[in-house]
């Protein structure tokens, strides 16, 4: 059955691949983004998927953005909390701004986006919530104390909300990607990629955004209805738990 799906940070990278996969499964998809209008209009003209601009770190903006999407497309049944940023630096040099920006965009956003939607999902008795966390929330990463803390927080959010929501036919899951070949990762110096990064990945390559898209598509299908509260690693064997 088709549902209305909303993907945050869906105009580029992993989010764009997730949005396309959910559309390909027959859902009516909308994406959100922060400010890169050029990427957003390119994405919309390529895919026909509507893009809506607001900051997932701002509760009021999320509430009105969600209301606008629901006015245009109908009640949202699938929410993918994908938008995320990094502001790296060693902790002993980290500023309050670096800490706050990363916690706001990667963790507060889960409250801001999910709280306005969850009552509707509960009332309708169906929902799918997927959070894109990170391998670095599982294992910690030097230079990313802020990001690792936020992404680990994402996993706790998922486990608790999954317990509260299971009786209402709503699943809540976290996906933890390893190195995925988005623009950011592909911009890494090829020599660093070959000598420092790829040797950490037993499969010997970067992941593709489309591989995350396929996993989200499965979790959001009826076939995925027995998977909830899970933390799914998709990292080429880089970290096994």
Binding site for ligand NDP (CB under 6 A): 8-9, 11-15, 32-36, 39, 55-57, 82-85, 105, 132, 134, 177, 179-180, 182-185
User: How far apart, in whole angstroms, are the C-alpha atoms of residue 37 and residue 173?
Assistant: 30
Closest among 178, 151, 177, 175 to 230, alpha carbons compared: 175
User: How far apart, in whole angstroms, are the C-alpha atoms of residue 27 and residue 10?
Assistant: 15
* Nearest approach, Cβ of residue 8 and ligand NDP (Å): 6
Q: Given the complex with ligand NDP, which of 105 and 126 has the nearer CB atom? A: 105
Tokens of 69: 């999407």
* Nearest approach, Cβ of residue 167 and ligand NDP (Å): 28
Look-up of token digits 């989200």 = 216
Q: Given the complex with ligand NDP, which of 79 and 83 has the nearer CB atom? A: 83
User: How far apart, in whole angstroms, are the C-alpha atoms of residue 38 and residue 45?
Assistant: 11
Query: CB atoms < 10 A from the CB of 201, how many?
Result: 17
Q: Given the complex with ligand NDP, which of 19 and 126 has the nearer CB atom? A: 19
Q: Given the complex with ligand NDP, which of 126 and 148 has the nearer CB atom? A: 148
Single out the catalytic residue among 147, 179, 218, 239. 147
Partners of 170 in the β-ladder: 127
Q: What is the dihedral of CA 90, 92, 93, 97, to 10 degrees?
A: 90
* Nearest approach, Cβ of residue 20 and ligand NDP (Å): 13
Say whether 33 is catalytic.
Answer: no
* Nearest approach, Cβ of residue 193 and ligand NDP (Å): 12
Residues marked active site are found at 147
């Amino acid at each position: 059955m088709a549902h209305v799906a909303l993907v945050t940070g869906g105009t580029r990278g992993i989010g764009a691949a997730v949005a396309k996969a959910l559309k390909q499964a027959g859902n009516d998809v909308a994406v959100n983004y922060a400010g890169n209008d050029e990427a957003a209009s390119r994405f919309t003209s390529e895919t026909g998927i509507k893009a809506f601009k607001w900051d997932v770190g701002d509760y009021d903006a999320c509430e009105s953005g969600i209301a606008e999407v629901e006015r245009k497309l109908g009640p949202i049944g699938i929410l993918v909390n994908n938008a995320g940023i990094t502001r790296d630096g060693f902790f002993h040099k980290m500023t309050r701004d670096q800490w706050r920006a990363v916690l706001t965009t990667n963790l507060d956003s889960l409250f801001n986006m999910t709280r306005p939607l969850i009552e509707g999902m509960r009332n309708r008795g169906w929902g799918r919530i997927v959070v894109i966390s990170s391998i670095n929330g599982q294992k910690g990463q030097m230079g990313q104390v802020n990001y690792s803390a936020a992404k680990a927080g994402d996993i706790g959010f998922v486990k608790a909300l999954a317990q509260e929501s299971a009786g209402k036919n709503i699943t809540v899951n976290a996906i933890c990607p390893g190195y995925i070949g988005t623009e950011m990762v592909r911009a890494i110096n090829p020599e660093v990629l070959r000598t420092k990064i790829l040797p950490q990945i037993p499969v010997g390559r970067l992941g593709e955004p489309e591989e995350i898209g396929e996993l989200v598509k499965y979790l959001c299908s009826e076939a995925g209805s027995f998977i909830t509260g899970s933390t799914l690693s998709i990292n080429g064997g880089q970290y096994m738990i």
